């Protein structure tokens, strides 16, 4: 992405060249390995599962997003997923805890505010690397804290506590790189048992590392 004309395809869309793809894949494996090894130090029984889930979702799966007037993109009778969470939740059903299910894939948002320029790093179509880490109510481990600390140590992120929590969150911490929000960690309350979500904006991370903005 040293050539921003290749990265910025216009209107919040991204064009990846081969070098970009290689870096994205390297970072995906690096973050997965970091989170896996960090959590195994805390609890050797935690298991990991990589999946791919649908990008089209029925309206009933996005009721809370619709109520919150989220920036959804409609596709016929479906919506393009605004995040990968719903599919990951489906995989988590009936799993033995603790268990982490994760994936990397496209998400879509029709944001109305702001300008979709490369310097803003805001996109309508973007790669999201997401981990849903499910655990029992009586766990003694603060999974958010240990994962956050390792990500900061590895990438030099700055920790920011947001003023407003997402509607699904009990606690959220954002990690910024070079002034751009790049990772969000949230203890979610919208599943049958406690879940730590780690969500990484891969387009931002790849661009910032390539260009040292």
Ordered domains of the chain (ranges, CATH): 4-211 (3.30.930.10)
Contact present, 131 and 100 (Cβ < 8 Å): yes
Pairing of β 180-188 and β 169-177? antiparallel
The residue ranking higher by pLDDT, 107 or 69, is 107
Residue pLDDT, tens place only, 5-49 = 456 666 778 888 899 999 999 999 999 999 999 999 999 999 999
Write down the pLDDT at residue 83.
85
13-17, 43-47, 54-58, 125-129: range with lowest mean pLDDT:
13-17
Q: What is the mean pLDDT of residues 170-187?
A: 95
**141 SS3 class:** coil
For residues 55 and 86, the model is more confident at 55
User: φ, ψ for residue 26 (rounded to 5)?
Assistant: -65, -45
Lowest mean pLDDT of 9-18, 42-51, 91-100, 159-168, name the range.
9-18
Overall average pLDDT of the 159-184 stretch: 90
Measured between alpha carbons, how far is residue 30 from residues 36, 86, 118, 132, 183 in Å?
10, 24, 25, 17, 14
């Amino acid at each position: 992405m040293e050539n921003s004309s290749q990265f910025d395809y216009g209107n919040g869309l991204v064009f990846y060249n081969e070098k970009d793809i290689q870096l994205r894949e390297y970072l995906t494996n690096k973050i997965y390995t970091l989170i896996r090894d960090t959590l195994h130090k805390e609890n050797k029984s935690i298991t990991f599962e990589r999946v791919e889930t649908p990008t089209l979702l029925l309206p009933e799966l996005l009721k809370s997003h619709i109520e919150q007037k989220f920036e959804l993109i409609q596709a016929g009778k479906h919506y393009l997923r605004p995040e990968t969470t719903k599919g990951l939740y489906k995989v988590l059903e009936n799993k033995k805890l603790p268990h982490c299910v994760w994936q990397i894939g496209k998400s879509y948002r029709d944001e109305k505010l702001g300008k979709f320029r490369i310097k803003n790093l805001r996109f309508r179509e973007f790669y999201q690397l997401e981990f849903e880490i499910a655990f029992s109510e009586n766990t003694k481990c603060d999974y958010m804290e240990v994962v956050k600390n390792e990500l900061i140590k590895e990438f030099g992120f700055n920790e920011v506590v947001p003023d407003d929590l997402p509607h699904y969150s009990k606690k959220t911490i954002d990690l910024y790189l070079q002034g751009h929000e790049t990772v969000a960690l949230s203890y979610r309350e919208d599943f049958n048992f406690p879940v730590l979500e780690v969500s990484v904006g891969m387009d931002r991370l790849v661009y910032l590392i390539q260009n040292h903005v």
